[in-house]
Structure 1
Amino acid sequence: MGVREQQPNLRRKLTLLVTGLGLTIVLTVGFMVAVVQIQSAITAYTFGESVWSRAQVDAVRHFHRFGETGRFRELAQARQSLMVPIGDLHARLAMTASELDWARARKGLEQGGIHPDDFTRMILLVRYLSWLEPMETAINAWQATDDLLMEMDQIGNAMEREWLSESPDRSHLQDLEQRLSTLDDQLRSRALVFRLAMGEAARWAAGFLSWVSAGFLALVTLLSWFLAVQLVKLLQRSEQSFRSIFEQSAIGIVQIDPAGRIVNANQATCDILGYSREELVPHSYRALIHPEDWEIEKEARVAINRGDIDNYTTEHRLVRKSGELLWARLTISRVWDAASHSFYFTTVLEDISESHRLSTELSYLATHDSLTDLINRRAFEQQLASHLGRVRNGGEQHALCFIDLDQFKVANDTSGHDAGDQLLRQVASIIQKNLRDTDILARLGGDEFGLILQHCDLDIAHRLAEKVRASLDHLVFTWRGTSHTISCSIGVVPITAETTGISALMRAADIACYTAKDGGRNRVCLMALDDEQLATQRGEMEWLSRIQTAFQEDRFFLEGQVIAPSRHSNRGLRYEVLIRLRAPDGKVVPPNAFLPPAERFGVAGRIDRWVITHVLEALSRAPQHLERLDACHINLSGRSFDQSGFADFVVSQFTRYQIPPHKICFEITETAAVHNLLEAEAFMKRLGDMGCQFALDDFGSGLSSFGYLRQLPVTCLKIDGMFVRDILTNDTDLAMVRAIHDIGHTMHMTTVAEYVESEQAAALLTDIGVDLLQGYWVHRPCPLEDILNMDDV
Structure 2
Amino acid sequence: MSKPQIRVLVVEDDAVDRMACRRALARDADFEFVIAEAETGGEGLRLAHGQKPDCVLLDFHLPDMNGLEFLAELRNDLGEIPVPVMMLTGADNASVAVEAMKRGAQDYLVKDVNRQYLELLPAVIQRVLRERRMLLEKQHAENKLAQAEAKYRSLVEQIPAITYTAALDVSGKLLYVSPQLEALGYLPEEWIAEVGALRSHVHPDDQIRAVEEFDRVRATGKPLRCEYRLLARNGAIVWFRDEASVVRDEAGNPLFLQGILVDISESKRVEKELREHRYRLEELVAKRTNALTKANEHLRKDVIELRRAEEALFQEKERAQVTLESIGDAVITTDAAGRVEYLNPVAAQFTGWSSTEAQGQPLQQVFNIINETSREPVESPVDRCLREGHAIGLANHSILLRRDGSELAVADTASPIHDRHGKTTGVVMVFHNVTQERKLAQQLSYQATHDALTGLINRRDFEQRLERALANARADGAEHALCYLDLDRFKVINDTCGHAAGDQLLRQLSALLLDQMRSRDTLARLGGDEFGLLLEHCHPEQAMRIAEELLQAVQQFKFVWEGKVHSIGASIGVVPVTAASESLSAVLRAADAACYTAKGKGRNRVYVYQIDEAELAQRNSEMQWVARITQALEEDRFGLFCQPIAELVPHAGERVHYEILLRMLEPDGRVIAPEAFLAAAERYNLMPAIDRWVVRRVISWLAAQPPESEQRAAIYSINLSGASLADHAMLDFIREQLILNQVPGNMLGFEIAEATAIANLTQAAHFFHEIRNLGCRTTLDNFGSAMFSIASLNVLQMDYLKIDGYFVKDIAQDRIAQALVDAINQVAHEMSARTVAGWTESPASLGALQEIGVDHVQGYVICRPRPLAELGKEQELSSPQ
Please report the TM-score for the alignment, with normalisation by the length of structure 1: 0.42
Using CA pairs under 8 Å that are at least 6 residues apart, name the structure with larger relative contact order, 1 or 2: 1
Say which structure is richer in helix. 1
The structure that has the greater radius of gyration is: 2
